[in-house]
Chain A
Amino acid sequence: MKRSNIFKRESLFVPIIAIIVGLVLGALVMYVGGYDPILAYHSMITKIFGSTFDMGETIRTIVPLVMCGLAVAISFRAGLFNIGVDGQIIMGSLGALIVGTQVNLPPFLHGLVAILAGAFLGGLWGALVGYLRAEKGISEVVTSIMLNFIALYFSQFLINLFMLQEGTQRSETIKDSASIQMSWLSNLVDGARIHWGFVIAILAVIFYQVYLNKTKWGYELRAVGLNPHAAHYAGMNVPHILVKTMFISGVFGGLVGAFDVLGVFKYVAISSTTSGLGFDGIAVSLLGGNTAVGVLLSGILFGALTYGSQGMSFGAGVPAEIIRMVIGFIIFFVAAPGIVKLLFRPFHKKSKEEA
């Protein structure tokens, strides 16, 4: 059996060069804009590792990115492009919010049920995309985007109707019994908002690896992704596999929403836009090559960059949006590896001549 090839030299070369070139281009943009890139990156690193609290909050930022990365990655492996993670996150927080505020259950069980409700609603939202693609042939790209906005306003509607905290633009807070904060770990990192989602994310990475590579369902999923027609002729139920894959993808997204409500904010704010985390998930999954370990590593990278970027604006006056540009550059070079190879061709030739 062929082992996954993530540790081969070639497959590591492009992402690492892409990251370096992305950071250098970011520095260049800062320099041209009249900022000090060295001070900026220095304050970014200080922000990430500066204190135990910051390190805890960095981990909190990484968790949803890894989950979103997995959500996008699993759909990619089946040949689908899930731009709808944002909507699945919203449905996930809605499910968790409803259970967290409207239901009375003993501690622990309450949190668990709330998480499951969020995961299930997110999964349904994803499965709907998969169904429309599989049965009606409608591009998942368009439906998932439409469902993002429908989820946004649907959630606002429900919150306004029966969960609004009087006189504010946010929902009432969840009951304490539904909290999934890990207080002992939180105390360890000076009160950073670490929660059980941290553990679930690690389990999700393991689940993804095992499901995709060790089970019959994972084999079918990959077969559909490589060639749906061949999979169909081999007797696989392609529509069923697409719906199932999108359900799992939606569950990953739904969990992100549930974590935020139950572990971090305790309420849902009424916002005019979606979080955009789903789009970051696309970046994470692409850089990670849609593999479990790759998604974990790139989630850690983008999470650290995102959290650290707040330090850049504070310490060096650089607008934090620069990190969006850096992330954009990185995926651009990963998506078009030919450019990376072109950039480094002179060096390649030299080393060969020397050898």
Chain B
Amino acid sequence: MDIIANLLNGTLVFSTALIFAALGGLISERSGIINIGIEGFMVSGAFFSAVTAYYAETAGFGAFSPWIGLIGAFVFSVIFSTIHAVACITYGANQVVSGTVINILASGSTFYLVKMIFAGSAETPILTNVFHKVKIPYLTDIPFVGKVIFNAYPTTYVAIALIIVFHFILFRTANGLRLRSVGEHPNAAATVGVKVNRTRYMSVILSGSIAALGGATIVLTSNSNFAYNTISGQGFIALAAVIIGKWNPVGAMLAALLFGLAQAVKDQFQIFEFASKIPSEFFYMLPYLLTLLVLIGAVGKSRAPKALGQPYDIGKR
């Protein structure tokens, strides 16, 4: 029982970054803008959180500095989101290409800046103040469930709260309806007075910043610094989570949890005698293999927003 509880708790740890990133990707894609750049936004978030948290730490903010890092990642990642938004929305660039540019620019510029700021070092200094798991009083005492859910990093609670908030916004509010309509049929939305480009700008910028929180989570909980392999492909897994979750926040969260589970299995199973005989490469491969198999098997035809990838052309109205 303890092992399963540990496994599920580990799942939450690994999934948190993916939940943020997948939610970020989803918001943009719901408005009709493909976001291949999630990986780049995660890199950006990881970098900016490491740097702001580091300076907050040296300025003496102590235990508050990871929170400042989180905010730093959110705020500064607007730069990259805006680049993507301008290219895709104002200039009608191929959205996949623009996303690729974000990935290249984000990794190139952050590694450049790390070397520039930290005198040639390939990674940022190790942070002394990072998030610690928070035990929620009384609730932790619930057998099993308490151990799984109510003993987690604060970022996990933030991520799950965001999923609930965005699920509500998307499907229960007028703004959510506008956002979805822009992704399904921008010309029809425009005829009823929705500002298509403004809505898309907002969602792309929000998208990048929320995905950046995913990168920040990795730095501020498990890694404690930013290096070239901090993200290594997690943004693309998040992208898969969006597709498997059928562009639905709760669905994307469940898919992210599935990948988190695959990663947690690796950590938990290494304790066992029989697992030590299984080559470690298999466990590393597992999340990716699982993604592929889920895509092939369970998903069937996934239903993307209709206008996904199409620039809004007022002439087509």
Contacts and interface: CB of A to CB of B under 8 A. Distances in A.
Given A153-B284, A319-B111, A142 B236 contact: yes
B105 A332 contact: yes
A328 B288 CA distance: 27
Dominant SS at the A interface?
helix
A328 B240 contact: no
Contacts of B299: 138
A10 B279 CA distance: 55
A interface residue count range (under 10 / 10 to 19 / 20 to 34 / 35 or more): 35 or more
Given A137-B301, A272-B232, A154 B285 contact: yes
Interface in B187-227: none
B115 A143 contact: no
B229 A325 contact: no
Nearest to A33: B116
B101 interface: yes
A320 to B, nearest CB: 9
A143 B100 contact: no
A324 B108 CA distance: 5
Contacts of A319: 111-112, 115-116, 120
B91 A338 contact: yes
A329 to B, nearest CB: 8
A321 interface: yes
Given A139-B243, A142-B295, A160 B104 contact: no
Contacts, number: 139
B233 A149 contact: yes
Contacts of A146: 236, 240, 288-289, 291-292, 295
A147 B292 contact: yes
Given A139-B243, A156-B281, A286-B97, A325 B288 contact: no
A252 B107 CA distance: 26
A153 B281 contact: yes
B295 A335 contact: no
A145 B281 contact: no
Nearest to A147: B292
A141 B36 contact: yes
Interface string B231-258: 0110010011001000000000000000
Contacts of B229: 272-273
B104 A136 contact: no
A226 interface: no
Nearest to B295: A138
B105 to A, nearest CB: 4
A322 interface: yes
A332 B101 contact: yes
B279 A149 contact: no
- Counting from the closest, the 8 A-B pairs by CB-CB distance are A324-B108, A328-B105, A319-B115, A336-B91, A157-B281, A153-B285, A336-B93, A328-B104
12 contacts: A83-B100, A141-B36, A141-B96, A145-B236, A145-B240, A273-B232, A319-B112, A319-B120, A322-B112, A324-B104, A324-B108, A324-B111
Interface of A: 29, 33-34, 81, 83, 132, 136-139, 141-143, 145-150, 153-154, 156-157, 160-161, 272-273, 279, 282-283, 286, 319, 321-325, 327-329, 331-332, 335-339
